[in-house]
């Protein structure tokens, strides 16, 4: 799967309160890519990631998924793209606190109607080294472990691309490095496309492609 | 989907308990109301048809009040002169005229209903008694006062008599179980109602001509003749209007329950914005989110419905047996009431979840994630 952002701009607010979070961004991501989007807070990097992930639509420009513009797609079609082709990893992990690690990973599989979801979810957790923590709740896991559950959840439906928004932002250096190594390994071994948003240059430098964003523009 | 709902419910036990409890109270009230209503209807039917009369001859006054007094065994302070009895018996088509006098008297010191009548009562009641002599007592009286055949009882009010118990009636599950039956003159003497009657039970020879007989009897002075079926219908109409009011009040309580549940669910949507945002990011469609909330509400409502059914059933068992026109009414349970209550619970579930579910479905994932 390939996602193209062509001259994409995104504005928030209206009238005098309107501001452009993203201006004329043109960038592509596909399986096997490892892209880092780097820039200071409020530069528009998360906005770019959300548009990449079909979570948001641009105010101007075009987003194409496999050369198909998403502007005309319905909520159902956009949801299906997210469900089947894109995995999300967030800075605050965003795990469901009332579900076990296994259930959190099972959730997107359930949405996709995957058969033998439990076995596959357990395998995904095994991949991220949490095979012994299937029944643990998020509160019983460390920050690094929670982020690994979030990665396993992102991988649940075997996506082509994983979009990670500051995945190491809430972790200490060592744990952050482990998470980053994991994403790099998935990129190298499974040809997974990875797009990371970060304000940390050292993290950004690990990527094959670095995109600098400042005041909504790719510099 | 059920495990997702269960996992969420585990996190919000108090809220779930309150929602289930609210619905359960509404359903329990409805179930108890329906069961008790049917019980009262059944008791009325049983008592009126159990009189065994084609026509009921009553003193002048409100026939419904007088009939109820007769069924309850209490003196209505309106009477038929006993001297009319030969004239009543002489009316064409009157096969049997059973004079009755009722009132409360002390039986071995305890207040109880006294029922004075003649031997003819044995022809209209289905008792296994050959002769009405001494005191014939209902099964409840025997149990309450610890009496048995051969014991003697003292019955007193204005005058006192001592009688031997000749029969204890088999349980009829009606008011007869609570009466002490004695000879008419004995009851009149005790109750101070000499030469007066509370009612006369009329059996006709040709039932199809009862209307004409009723008309003739009704023209006699100081009495009114009414068919028990009319009394039953009118009492049922009266009871139906009371029941409708109660159902209306229950309905209002259920609507209030819907609003409360709706409010709870709407608050839950706000509380669960993060969860909804993540679900949407993971690929849930608006329809998925809508269905999740409606299903959750439906499940809670059904649980509330079942809890309410059990609570309603238990409540009816502990409610006083004597209710509705002072009759002993046993609640009547029917599968149809279970179905009605569960349908109401489902309607409550769906109605209360539509707005919150739509609100949840409209949640923009990006907006939610940005706010987190």
Reported as a single tens digit per residue, the pLDDT across B246-279 is: 888 888 888 887 888 788 888 888 888 888 888 8
Facing B11 at nearest CB: one of A98, A110, A112: A98
* Cβ distance of A111 and B275 shorter than 8 Å: no
The three-class DSSP label of residue B177 is helix
* Cβ distance of B365 and A55 shorter than 8 Å: yes
Note the pLDDT of residue B242.
Answer: 84
Closest CA to A5 of A28, A39, A23: A28
* Cβ distance of A75 and B274 shorter than 8 Å: no
Q: Are B38 and B331 in contact (CB under 8 A)?
A: yes
Q: Checking DSSP bridges between strand B110-117 and strand B179-183, what pairing results, if any?
A: parallel
Facing A94 at nearest CB: one of B274, B284, B285: B274
Inter-residue long-range contacts of B7-11, CB under 8 Å, 24+ positions, other chains counted: B7/A96, B7/A98, B7/A99, B7/A103, B8/A96, B8/A98, B8/B272, B8/B275, B8/B296, B9/B296, B9/B300, B10/A98, B11/A97, B11/A98
* Cβ distance of A99 and B279 shorter than 8 Å: no
Which stretches of B272-334 are DSSP H helices? 273-281, 286-318
Confidence check: pLDDT of A74 > 90:
no
Q: Are B365 and A55 in contact (CB under 8 A)?
A: yes
Cα dihedral B275→B281→B285→B287 (10° resolution): 10
Nearest residue on chain B to A78, alpha-carbon basis: B283
How far is it, in rounded angstroms, from Cα A128 to Cα A146?
A: 11
Confidence check: pLDDT of B331 > 80:
yes
Nearest residue on chain A to B8, alpha-carbon basis: A98
* Cβ distance of B284 and A97 shorter than 8 Å: no
**Residue whose token pair is 């009553």:** B58
Contacts of B3 (CB under 8 A, 6+ apart): A103
Confidence check: pLDDT of A178 > 60:
yes
Q: What percent of chain A has pLDDT over 70?
A: 100
Contacts of B215 (CB under 8 A, 6+ apart): B225
Note the pLDDT of residue A212.
Answer: 93
**Residue whose token pair is 């949405």:** A111
Describe the strand order of the beta sheet including A2-12 as a list of residue ranges: A19-30, A2-12, A60-65, A68-69
Q: Are B293 and B11 in contact (CB under 8 A)?
A: no
Note the pLDDT of residue B107.
Answer: 94
Structure tokens given for B101:
């006098």
Confidence check: pLDDT of B180 > 80:
yes
Range B178-186 average pLDDT: 94
**CB contact B291 to A (< 8 Å):** no
Range B145-161 average pLDDT: 93
Q: How far is B365 from chain A (nearest CA, A)?
A: 7
ipTM: 0.86
The three-class DSSP label of residue B230 is helix
Q: Are B71 and B235 in contact (CB under 8 A)?
A: no
Facing A83 at nearest CB: one of B10, B282, B369: B282
Residue A206's φ and ψ, nearest 5 degrees, are -70, -20
Confidence check: pLDDT of B325 > 80:
no
How far is it, in rounded angstroms, from Cα B33 to Cα B37?
A: 6
How far the first Cα of chain B sits from its last, in Å, is 25
Facing A98 at nearest CB: one of B7, B284, B366: B7
How far is it, in rounded angstroms, from Cα A203 to Cα A211?
A: 12
Averaged pLDDT of chain B: 88
Note the pLDDT of residue A172.
Answer: 84
Contacts of A30 (CB under 8 A, 6+ apart): A1, A2, A3, A160, A161, A193
Q: Is the dihedral angle over the CA atoms B300, B303, B305, B311 positive or is it negative?
A: negative
The three-class DSSP label of residue B319 is coil
* Cβ distance of A94 and B278 shorter than 8 Å: yes
Facing A75 at nearest CB: one of B4, B282, B285: B285
Q: Categorize the per-residue pLDDT at B39 as very low, low, confident or very high, splitting at 50, 70 and 90.
A: confident
Closest CA to B104 of B67, B157, B165: B157
Averaged pLDDT of chain A: 89
* Cβ distance of A111 and B274 shorter than 8 Å: no
Q: What percent of chain B has pLDDT over 90?
A: 42
Q: Are B84 and B220 in contact (CB under 8 A)?
A: yes
Q: Are A155 and A186 in contact (CB under 8 A)?
A: yes
Note the pLDDT of residue B124.
Answer: 86
**CB contact B319 to A (< 8 Å):** no
Reported as a single tens digit per residue, the pLDDT across B110-123 is: 999 999 999 999 98
Reported as a single tens digit per residue, the pLDDT across A152-168 is: 999 888 899 999 988 88
How far is it, in rounded angstroms, from Cα A140 to Cα A135?
A: 10
Alpha-carbon Rg for chain A, nearest whole angstrom, is: 17
Note the pLDDT of residue A161.
Answer: 94
C-alpha of B294 from chain center: 36
Confidence check: pLDDT of B42 > 60:
yes
Confidence check: pLDDT of B320 > 90:
no
Range A72-88 average pLDDT: 89
Reported as a single tens digit per residue, the pLDDT across A3-38 is: 999 999 999 888 888 889 999 999 999 999 999 999
Q: Which of residues 261-280 of B touch A (CB under 8 A)?
A: 274-275, 277-280
How far is it, in rounded angstroms, from Cα B257 to Cα B353?
A: 12
Reported as a single tens digit per residue, the pLDDT across A123-156 is: 989 888 888 999 999 999 999 899 899 999 998 8
Range B63-83 average pLDDT: 89
């Amino acid at each position: 799967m390939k996602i193209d952002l062509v001259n994409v701009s995104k504005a928030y607010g209206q009238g005098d309160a309107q501001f452009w979070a993203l201006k004329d961004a043109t960038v592509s991501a596909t399986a096997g890519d490892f892209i880092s989007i780097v820039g200071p807070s409020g530069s528009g990097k998360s906005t770019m990631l959300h548009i990449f992930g079909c979570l948001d639509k641009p105010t101007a420009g075009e987003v194409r998924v496999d050369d198909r513009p998403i502007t005309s797609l319905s909520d159902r079609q956009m949801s299906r793209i997210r469900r089947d082709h894109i995995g999300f990893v967030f800075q605050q992990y965003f795990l469901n606190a009332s579900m076990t690690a296994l259930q959190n990973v099972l959730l997107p599989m359930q949405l996709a109607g995957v058969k033998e979801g439990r076995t596959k979810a357990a395998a995904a957790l095994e991949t991220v080294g949490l095979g012994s923590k299937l029944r643990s709740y998020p509160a019983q896991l460390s920050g690094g472990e929670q982020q690994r559950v979030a990665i396993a959840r992102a991988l649940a439906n075997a996506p082509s691309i994983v979009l990670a928004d500051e995945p190491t932002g809430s972790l200490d250096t060592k744990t952050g490095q482990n998470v980053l190594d994991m994403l790099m390994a998935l990129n190298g071994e499974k040809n997974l496309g990875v797009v990371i948003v970060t304000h940390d240059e050292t993290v950004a430098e690990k990527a094959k492609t670095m995109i600098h964003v400042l005041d909504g523009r790719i510099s | 989907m059920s495990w997702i709902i269960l996992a969420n419910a585990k996190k919000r036990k108090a809220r779930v308990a309150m929602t289930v409890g609210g619905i359960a109270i509404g359903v329990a009230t409805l179930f108890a109301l329906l069961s008790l209503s049917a019980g009262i209807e059944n008791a009325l039917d049983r008592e009126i048809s159990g009189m065994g009369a084609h026509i009921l001859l009553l003193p002048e006054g409100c026939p419904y009040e007088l009939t109820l007094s007769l069924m309850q065994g209490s003196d209505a302070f309106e009477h038929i002169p006993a001297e009319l009895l030969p004239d009543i018996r002489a009316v064409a088509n009157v096969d049997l005229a059973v004079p009755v006098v009722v009132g409360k008297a002390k039986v071995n010191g305890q207040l109880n209903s006294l029922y004075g009548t003649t031997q003819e009562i044995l022809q209209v009641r289905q008792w296994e008694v050959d002769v009405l002599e001494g005191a014939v007592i209902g099964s409840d009286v025997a149990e309450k006062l610890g009496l048995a055949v051969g014991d003697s009882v003292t019955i007193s009010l204005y005058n006192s008599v001592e009688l031997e118990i000749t029969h204890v009636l088999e349980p009829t599950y009606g008011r007869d179980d609570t009466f002490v039956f004695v000879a008419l003159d004995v009851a009149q003497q005790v109750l101070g109602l000499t030469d007066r009657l509370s009612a006369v039970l009329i059996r006709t020879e040709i039932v199809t001509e009862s209307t004409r007989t009723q008309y003739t009897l009704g023209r006699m002075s100081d009495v009114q003749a009414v068919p028990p079926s009319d009394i039953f219908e009118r009492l049922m109409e009266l009871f139906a209007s009371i029941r409708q009011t109660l159902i209306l009040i229950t309905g209002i309580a259920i609507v209030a329950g819907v609003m409360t549940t709706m409010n709870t669910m709407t608050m839950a949507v706000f509380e669960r914005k993060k969860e909804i945002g993540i679900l949407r990011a993971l690929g849930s469609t608006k329809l998925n989110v809508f269905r999740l909330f409606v299903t959750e509400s439906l499940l809670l409502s059904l649980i509330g419905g079942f809890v309410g059914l059990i609570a309603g059933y238990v409540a009816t068992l502990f409610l006083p047996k004597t209710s509705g026109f002072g009759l002993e009414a046993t609640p009547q349970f029917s599968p149809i009431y279970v179905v009605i209550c569960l349908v109401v619970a489902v309607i409550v579930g769906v109605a209360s979840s539509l707005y919150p579910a739509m609100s949840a479905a409209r949640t923009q994932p990006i907006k939610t994630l940005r706010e987190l």
